[in-house]
Amino acid sequence: MVEIDLNLLRVFDTLFEMRSVTRAAGKLGLTQSAVSHALRRLRDALDDPVFVRAPGGLQPTARAIEIAPGVREGLAQLRGALSPTEFVPETASRRFTVAAGSYFCTLLVPDLIARVRAAAPDVTLRIIAPGPDLLSELDESTVDLALGAFTRIPSRLSSETLYREELVWVAAADNPIVDQPFDHGAFAAAPRLTISHGRPFETLRAAAPEGALGRKVITETGDAEPLPLGDDAAIVYDSQTAIAIVGRTDMIALVPRRFAERDRAGKGIAMLDADGEGGGIDLQMLWHGKVDDDAGLAWLRGVIREIAAGF
């Protein structure tokens, strides 16, 4: 059995994340030479190079990739065991990683960071884009909390619905369709700008027997199209781009109501009265059940919940 100083495991975990001795040293508050020395000791202890230099920075070896999840999980459990049972924002020193797409980064994250900075100045928020490995990242505690629209949530995860986002059809303010009564035929004839990430549902990889976690694109309303529209006139990947394009063309698009209400004056768009044809989608926050009792994460969820209540 290999015995390794816990400080070396912290260095390993940070190098695995940062892929740079310089950045790892900055995060750990150590000198570059101290990190390099720790890396040499890791290599001797594991009898493996652990990290090798590559054009994009340090790249982990197969052995490093194999042990990284266990190291991260072990360090998280140790921190939890040694952490105080209460979380005091004013004095807490901690970093939370939150996975959030462009929708939340536009509407909720700016306020979230502002509130955290005011209440807990030594707490750092790291915001990342949710990707195909989100489930394993939650399992391994590399992501603390995820914001989005999720389906097929495994039982080991906890979730809370924040609010329901309505989807509305928008057109340029001077588009003749704006002043017409809603008519399926007119909508079917209008050129459509579609927002798509490639697939309406993205399956997030997972080896767990409970199955995969699903993440729904916020502008999708379900398996069926809400209106019998024809071929797409154009396809983009986010709502803000869609709104900007609609304001300068003859196209219509289905976007979140909160974006439309915020941008309609500046972007020259109008919301169409489509008799509720846009539909809606429940937006949630998601975390691993093993951290249900984590006081710090409970505080962070409370801040998010408070912001969402104002929407």
Distance CA 142, CA 98 (A): 9
Q: Is residue 6 part of a domain?
A: yes
77 shares a domain with 165: no
Q: Is residue 18 part of a domain?
A: yes
Which CATH number does the domain housing residue 18 bear?
Answer: 1.10.10.10
pLDDT, tens digit only, all 311 positions of the chain = 456 788 899 899 889 988 999 988 888 878 898 899 999 999 999 999 999 998 888 999 999 999 988 888 888 777 767 665 689 999 999 999 999 998 999 999 999 999 999 999 999 999 999 988 898 889 888 899 999 999 888 888 999 999 999 989 999 999 999 988 877 777 778 899 988 764 433 444 434 344 578 776 665 433 334 444 455 678 888 888 999 999 999 999 989 999 999 888 889 999 987 665 667 889 999 999 888 889 999 999 999 999 999 98
257 shares a domain with 170: yes
Distance CA 300, CA 303 (A): 5
Last residue of a domain, one of 59, 82, 105: 82
Residue 155 has which token pair? Answer: 């039982």
Q: Is residue 272 part of a domain?
A: yes
165 shares a domain with 65: no
Range of the domain at 176: 161-283
3-state secondary structure of 286: strand
Q: Is residue 130 part of a domain?
A: no
Q: Is residue 17 part of a domain?
A: yes
The count of structural domains within the chain is: 2
Which CATH number does the domain housing residue 168 bear?
Answer: 3.40.190.10
Q: Is residue 114 part of a domain?
A: no
Q: Is residue 308 part of a domain?
A: no
Q: Is residue 94 part of a domain?
A: no
Q: What's the chain's length in residues?
A: 311
CB 144 within 8 A of CB 301: no
State pTM to two decimals: 0.68
Torsion angles phi and psi, residue 96, rounded to 5:
-115, 140
278 shares a domain with 165: yes
Distance CA 16, CA 47 (A): 17
Last residue of a domain, one of 82, 106, 125: 82
